[in-house]
Structure 1
Amino acid sequence: MAKKVILDLDTGIDDALALAYTLGSPELELIGVTATYGNVLVETGARNDLALLELFGRADVPVFIGEPHALAKDSFEVLEISAFIHGNNGIGEAVVPDAQAAPQEQGAVDFLIESVKKYGDELVIIPTGAMTNIATAIKKDPTFAENAHIVFMGGALTVPGNVSPWAEANINQDPEGADIMVRNSNDITMIGLDVTLQTLLTYEETKQWRALGTPAGTFLADATDYYIKAYDTTAPHLGGCGLHDPLAVGVAVDPSLVTTLPINLKVDTEGATRGRTIGDETRLNDPVKNAKVAVAVDVERFLAEFMERIGRVARGL
């Protein structure tokens, strides 16, 4: 039986790839997409989700609009670096028509809470943007933290951050929200820069999608080429773009893709290290570890699975 998943996306090029990876994975049943902010405004993210679901032949999947800004803030503006990496429209300036469908009237937080109550252990939530929707669900309903299974893309434990020497971008959007999530959730797996920057895509792979001549294949190639070009400027030493968000989906499908370290985490919310993900020294000797942090990844196997699954969607199967 397929595992039910909710994607919590700030769509975003690698979020679009994570969406395609999910739809191309027969082991997963996508029951909804909750929109958050980060790479884009929450409304832009929801627009992209609906448009891409239609492009990928899954307009039946509902989209829910989430919280518009961080817990400690009154508003949100897209960072200049985010617009540079993902384009002003979030999807590398690739043109995708607006969807026929509209977002659901129910909000993302209520959908998340309701889904965990309904499906319990059958459901995995995969946040790949700011963690505000998750933190708000935890604050609103304590049983959510007890029962939710979360695999999130964010953080950096053994490597530097990508927006400061300490902070990774998704955590940095809402350190307070991320701290609530990592301290209170019973079951979380962190897929951070430690592993995602080892999973790289190059122009060689995007050529394969473009050669298919399908609308989905052309979109995936155009958006990802934009992303790779941005990486050529911001991180030329890598030689490709990191598959951040898709790896979180990959681990939801197959946890054996990564080696994890059991730990109790916290997120620094003050001072120079604000946004840092690190072990919680006050729970160091607690025998119960609520988090697993990925510290190694089977790159070859993941890339093979990634190309196979994205290929199904690009071909329109």
Structure 2
Amino acid sequence: MQNVRMILDVDTGIDDSMAILLALKTKHIKVEGITTVFGNTDVAQATRNTLQVIEVSGVPYEVPVAMGADRPLVREWRGPVTHIHGNNGIGNCELPMPKGKPLAESAAEFIVRMVNTHPNELTLVFVGRMTNLAIALAQDPSIASKVKRLVIMGGAVKVPGNVTPVAEANISGDAEAAHRVFESGIPITLVGLDVTMQTIIGETERLQLMASPVPGNEKAAAFIGEAFKFYFEAYEKQNGFYGSPLHDPLAVAVAAFPDLVATEEHYVRIETKGTMSYGATLVDFRRTVPVTNASVALGVDSPRFLDYFINTLKS
């Protein structure tokens, strides 16, 4: 199994926390750094949450954290998603104050430095707005040819959006940044709502994740159980079912096991001008453009993914 050297970009809410834990606990992933961005909560809170989750994970190596953008490139930030992720972004769970601190350099500076230092070796996994990467590309466009692969949790291709009828939250949260990234030439795998909405877990899995934690995983197991309880209750109020999709963890999983999803090569553009369609992910299924810029995930092996997710987080 090929090792994956990863930079993970997060707006650490509840599912971001689970994505961080999944990446840190997957044996063939080495998390080279985590960058933070506004989104589910403000970037300062996202950074604090990230440091806390890293420490709860028990990861045996140091993971640098770089704080990034606090607003979109062009538009105003719509504010934190407290009704889904709680006032602190992690379901109002109270974790110990982190001992670690973020790096002095920004997320964009960290990305540029790391990609230039390790050309064609790093997989970037972005599970929030793509603002940090857009800024990094503006600072050094050459990094586009040096990224091994970019896995994006974002977009709604053949399914409805989750913030508007056509737009998904991460893309529409900064569509201008997403547009720049898709036009950059970076090799992209798009993991959107078409597949993440097929990865639903509920109370049975939550209890399974909490039960009989292995020595050293007690704090993580308790946090997972408490955070998912808040998340499930929020989803029940919002969507009418007690459970949740595993949006961000699936992107990490695809970076680790690309064959978890069935993909098609297409040309993808992001709508940045429309009033009703802002943030829409437009896929050229008719192939009117003679090039492609993304592998678009349209199918997922949900049972295999869920088995991997549960077993890894219990380890």
For the criterion TM > 0.5, the same-fold answer is yes
Mean CA deviation greater in 251-260 or 140-149: 140-149
Counterpart residue type for residue 71 of structure 2: H
Aligned to 1:176: 176
SS at match of 1:96: coil
Q: Which has the higher helix share?
A: 1
Partners of 1:43 and 1:258 in 2: CA distance: 33
The percentage of counterpart residues that share the same residue type is 38
2:30 is the alignment partner of 1:29: yes
Query: What are the equivalent positions in structure 2 for 1:200-219 lying under 5 Å apart?
Result: 200-212=200-212, 214-219=218-223
Partners of 1:57 and 1:134 in 2: CA distance: 28
Counterpart residue type for residue 109 of structure 1: A
The count of residues paired between Structure 1 and Structure 2 equals 307
SS at match of 2:183: helix
* Contact 1:13/1:223 (8 A) holds in 2: yes
Cα displacement string for residues 241-270 of structure 1 (whole angstroms, at most 9, x for unaligned residues)? 010000000000011000011111111011
Counterpart residue type for residue 70 of structure 1: P
Partners of 1:166 and 1:77 in 2: CA distance: 18
- How far did residue 121 of structure 1 move? 2.3
* Contact 2:267/2:289 (8 A) holds in 1: no
TM-score normalised according to structure 2 size: 0.93
2:262 is the alignment partner of 1:263: no
Query: What are the equivalent positions in structure 2 for 1:151-230 lying under 5 Å apart?
Result: 151-212=151-212, 214-230=218-234
Partners of 1:257 and 1:129 in 2: CA distance: 21
Partners of 2:185 and 2:231 in 1: CA distance: 32
| Contiguous gaps of at least 5 residues in structure 1 | 313-317
- How far did residue 114 of structure 1 move? 1.3
Aligned to 2:21: 20
Partners of 1:154 and 1:41 in 2: CA distance: 19
- How far did residue 275 of structure 1 move? 0.5
Mean CA deviation greater in 19-28 or 115-124: 115-124
- How far did residue 211 of structure 1 move? 2.6
Counterpart residue type for residue 64 of structure 1: A
* Contact 2:52/2:98 (8 A) holds in 1: yes
Counterpart residue type for residue 179 of structure 2: D
| Contiguous gaps of at least 5 residues in structure 2 | none
Partners of 2:170 and 2:244 in 1: CA distance: 17
- How far did residue 283 of structure 1 move? 7.5
* Contact 2:266/2:285 (8 A) holds in 1: no
Mean CA deviation greater in 159-168 or 213-222: 213-222
